[in-house]
Structure 1
């Protein structure tokens, strides 16, 4: 498999040399077995949804390109983690629309009609008449 940048919506990958210009290099994610805390910090900084990037998905093919570190040269002693994704990475999905009822108790005419219909059905059932 090809190394690809996992940061936000970055499209740097080994298979496209034109995207690796200006000294951009891919830095592998810290492995959870060797440095769990650093791995978690890097995952959170990438700004991807949990389904796309989590501890179970970290393998030898997950990397971050050097553009996402302070100075653009990869991790340093002073700044070992990638910068936070700035919100342009992945938009959160919209919550589903809440279903709204056309019925409101504040509309007395509609409310009265519904009650009368229900009472009529109950009376028909009691009298043995089909609806």
Structure 2
């Protein structure tokens, strides 16, 4: 198919490539895909309606770039050919979105409401975290305030804490205590010269409890 240039009075065609001087043929914008640009190019070509119109634009309609600086200075700033009559180039049209005062106010209000909503959510989350931290600190303080004896350890909120220290449940510990000392008398006596003499002030159950802790966890006398 022979290619012809549709621009102005240009008579370039592909039959005589030597006349193009190394130029190329550029396809015309198609009405179906780029209708507005197609109309713009038709207008810039300055040909009569009978010679060039939307109905005559096909895949075989071209412009040549023989003198690209004058005829077709195609860049992002000047994407269209020059006017065939005046030789002037037109800058690319930019799609600028203009907002009236009311639209700006509405958009600003939406943004402010969203920011306010996020601030409220952030405040609620901070309060919830602080509340949980206080509960956790209170629970830890409760555990720290407990005495380290069989009765208090058995009542701890920490699961299986008594078994962790003694390897026995509290019920079995009571059974062992009853089996070893049915009369609830303390047969354990320390010499007066020994440093452990103050242990005599502990009840019998505490003696057994500390002994089991020592066996289970390898604690020493200082512990």
TM-score bracket, normalised by the shorter chain, equals: 0.5 to 0.7
- 1:59 matched to which residue of 2? 58
Q: Distance in 2 between matches of 1:57 and 1:73?
A: 21
Is the counterpart of residue 50 in structure 1 residue 49 in structure 2? yes
Between structures 1 and 2, the one with greater helix share: 2
- 2:39 matched to which residue of 1? 40
SS in 2 for 1:53: coil
Residues 4-30 of structure 1, C-alpha deviations (whole Å, 9 max, x = no match): 100111011111011111x31110100
Q: Could you list the runs of 5+ residues in structure 2 that have no partner in the other structure?
A: 87-223
Q: Distance in 2 between matches of 1:77 and 1:84?
A: 17
Given that 1:4 and 1:13 are in contact with CA atoms closer than 8 Å, whether structure 2 keeps it comes out as: yes
- 2:12 matched to which residue of 1? 12
Q: 1:6 to 1:31 in 2, by over 3 A?
A: same
Q: TM-score, normalised by structure 2?
A: 0.36
Q: Distance in 1 between matches of 2:77 and 2:28?
A: 18
Q: Distance in 1 between matches of 2:71 and 2:8?
A: 16
Higher relative contact order (CA 8 A, sep 6+): 1
Q: Distance in 1 between matches of 2:20 and 2:10?
A: 12
Query: Which is further off, 50-59 or 74-83?
Result: 74-83
Q: Distance in 1 between matches of 2:2 and 2:73?
A: 19
Q: 1:74 to 1:60 in 2, by over 3 A?
A: farther
Q: Distance in 2 between matches of 1:43 and 1:72?
A: 14
Write out the 4+ residue segments of structure 1 that deviate beyond 6 Å after TM superposition.
none
Given that 1:4 and 1:14 are in contact with CA atoms closer than 8 Å, whether structure 2 keeps it comes out as: yes
Is the counterpart of residue 76 in structure 1 residue 78 in structure 2? no
Kindly state the Cα deviation for residue 67 of structure 1 after the two structures are TM-superposed. Answer: 4.0
Q: Could you list the runs of 5+ residues in structure 1 that have no partner in the other structure?
A: 88-131
Q: Distance in 2 between matches of 1:49 and 1:55?
A: 12
Q: TM-score, normalised by structure 1?
A: 0.59
